[in-house]
Amino acid sequence: MLADAPLPGEIHRPARLMEAMRYAALGSGKRLRPFLVVEAARLFGVEGPGVLRAACAIEMLHCYSLAHDDLPAMDDDDLRRGRPTLHRAFDEATAILAGDALLTYAFDVLADPATHADPAARAELCLGLARAAGPGGMAGGQALDLAAEVAGRPLPQMAIERLQAMKTGAVLRFSAEAGAIAAGASREDRAALAAYGRALGAAFQIADDILDAEGDDATLGKRTGKDAGRNKATLVAALGLVGAKRLVGKFVDQAESALAPFGARANILVAAARFTGSRNH
- Contacts with a copy of itself, residue ranges (CB under 8 A): 2, 7, 9-14, 16-18, 21, 64, 68, 71, 73-74, 91-94, 96-97, 99-101, 103-105, 107-108, 110-112, 118-120, 122-124, 126-127, 129-131, 133-137, 139-140, 142-144, 146-147, 161-162, 165-166, 170
CA–CA dist 44, 134 (Å, integer): 28
* Least spacing, CB of residue 190 vs a copy of itself, in Å: 15
φ/ψ region of 185 (left if φ > 0, alpha if ψ in -120 to 50, else beta) reads beta
Element (H, E) at 138: helix 138-151
If the CB atoms of residues 179 and 201 are measured against a copy of itself, the closer one turns out to be 201
CA–CA dist 275, 148 (Å, integer): 29
> Is 21 within 8 Å of 102 (Cβ atoms)?
yes
* Least spacing, CB of residue 274 vs a copy of itself, in Å: 24
* Least spacing, CB of residue 144 vs a copy of itself, in Å: 5
* Least spacing, CB of residue 107 vs a copy of itself, in Å: 4
If the CB atoms of residues 157 and 274 are measured against a copy of itself, the closer one turns out to be 157
If the CB atoms of residues 180 and 270 are measured against a copy of itself, the closer one turns out to be 180
Beta-carbon contacts of 149 under 8 Å, excluding residues fewer than 6 positions away, are 230, 231, 232, 233
CA nearest to 70, candidates 81, 57, 55: 81
* Least spacing, CB of residue 74 vs a copy of itself, in Å: 5
* Least spacing, CB of residue 215 vs a copy of itself, in Å: 26
If the CB atoms of residues 104 and 267 are measured against a copy of itself, the closer one turns out to be 104
Q: Which residues of 238-259 are buried (b: 16+ CB within 10 A; e: fewer)?
A: bbeeeebbebbeebbebbbebb
CA–CA dist 225, 229 (Å, integer): 7
If the CB atoms of residues 130 and 220 are measured against a copy of itself, the closer one turns out to be 130
Assign 3-class secondary structure to 224-257.
CCHHHHCCCCCHHHHHHHHHHHHHHHHHHHHHHH
If the CB atoms of residues 43 and 125 are measured against a copy of itself, the closer one turns out to be 125
